[in-house]
């Protein structure tokens, strides 16, 4: 491993400290890709692939609800959130940008996030509205509730 991968490994492990035993990060973040065997969404048989976004030791990333000013500046609906930092992939851990962004979603596929936690005990669906992948040691994504326009 090179310097960048060494630093990513350190960030990956440090980011997990807030989760256990302190339980500061109570939200579970999952990326879901639904694929249908037909040519359009909903046609044919459905296949579901779910990936949980985690840091070291299976700890969840930080989830932060955006305040009124951030919502207004971003033109985002109430309930929009920011997830991250998420450690980029490296030998031994991390998450790929393709996993986070749904890279390569094809016709007949649907990509969204499911958050489960205190605000959403049964889970809530979110859509990706923005992401930041230009940092060497972290990814950040902005999500809006699926039910919002």
The domain in which residue 69 lies consists of 3-145
Total domains in the chain come to 1
Distance CA 22, CA 31 (A): 25
Distance CA 120, CA 99 (A): 22
pLDDT tens for the chain, residues 1 to 149: 688 888 888 887 777 777 666 677 889 999 999 888 877 788 888 889 999 999 888 889 999 999 999 999 999 999 999 999 999 999 989 999 999 988 767 777 889 999 999 999 999 999 999 999 888 899 999 999 987 54
Distance CA 42, CA 48 (A): 12
Q: Are strands 28-36 and 109-116 parallel, antiparallel or unpaired?
A: antiparallel
pTM above 0.75, yes or no: yes
């Amino acid at each position: 491993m090179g310097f960048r991968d060494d630093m990513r490994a350190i960030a990956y492990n440090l980011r997990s400290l807030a989760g256990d035993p302190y339980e500061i990060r109570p939200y579970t973040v999952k990326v879901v890709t639904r694929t249908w065997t037909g040519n359009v969404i909903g046609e044919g048989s459905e296949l579901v692939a779910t990936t949980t976004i985690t840091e070291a030791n299976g700890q969840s990333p930080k989830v932060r609800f955006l305040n009124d000013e951030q919502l207004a500046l971003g033109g985002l609906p109430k309930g929009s959130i920011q997830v991250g930092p998420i450690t980029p992939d490296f030998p031994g851990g991390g998450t790929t940008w393709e996993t986070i962004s749904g890279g390569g979603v094809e016709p007949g596929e649907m990509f969204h996030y499911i958050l489960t936690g205190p605000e959403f005990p049964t889970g809530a669906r979110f859509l990706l509205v923005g992401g930041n992948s230009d940092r060497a040691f972290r990814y950040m994504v902005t999500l809006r509730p699926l039910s919002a326009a």
